[in-house]
Amino acid sequence: MNTRRDAIVMYLEAGPDEFELVDGFRRDVRGIGHHGTGDLEVRLRSGTDLERAGEMIRRSYEVA
């Protein structure tokens, strides 16, 4: 997890193919250099984003 000025960025173990990719919210980072072990990047900018990411976070936790 990285903190940015405008967002918290999480790299989750949940597979990018399991979720619809949404510009500015989640993206596939396979093959892209990044800090973290997961292949799904999620950007949290609000409490609503955290709620939207809940299932992805749970799946990532279960896989780890």
| Residue appearing with tokens 């597979």 | 15
Other C-beta atoms lying within 10 Å of the C-beta of residue 6: 8
pTM for the structure as a whole? 0.83
Look at 38 and 64; give whichever has higher pLDDT.
38
β-bridge pairing 2-3 and 40-44: unpaired
Strand ranges inside the chain, DSSP E: 2-3, 8-12, 26-28, 40-44
Tell me the C-alpha distance between 3 and 6, whole Å.
Answer: 8
What pLDDT sits at residue 45? Answer: 95
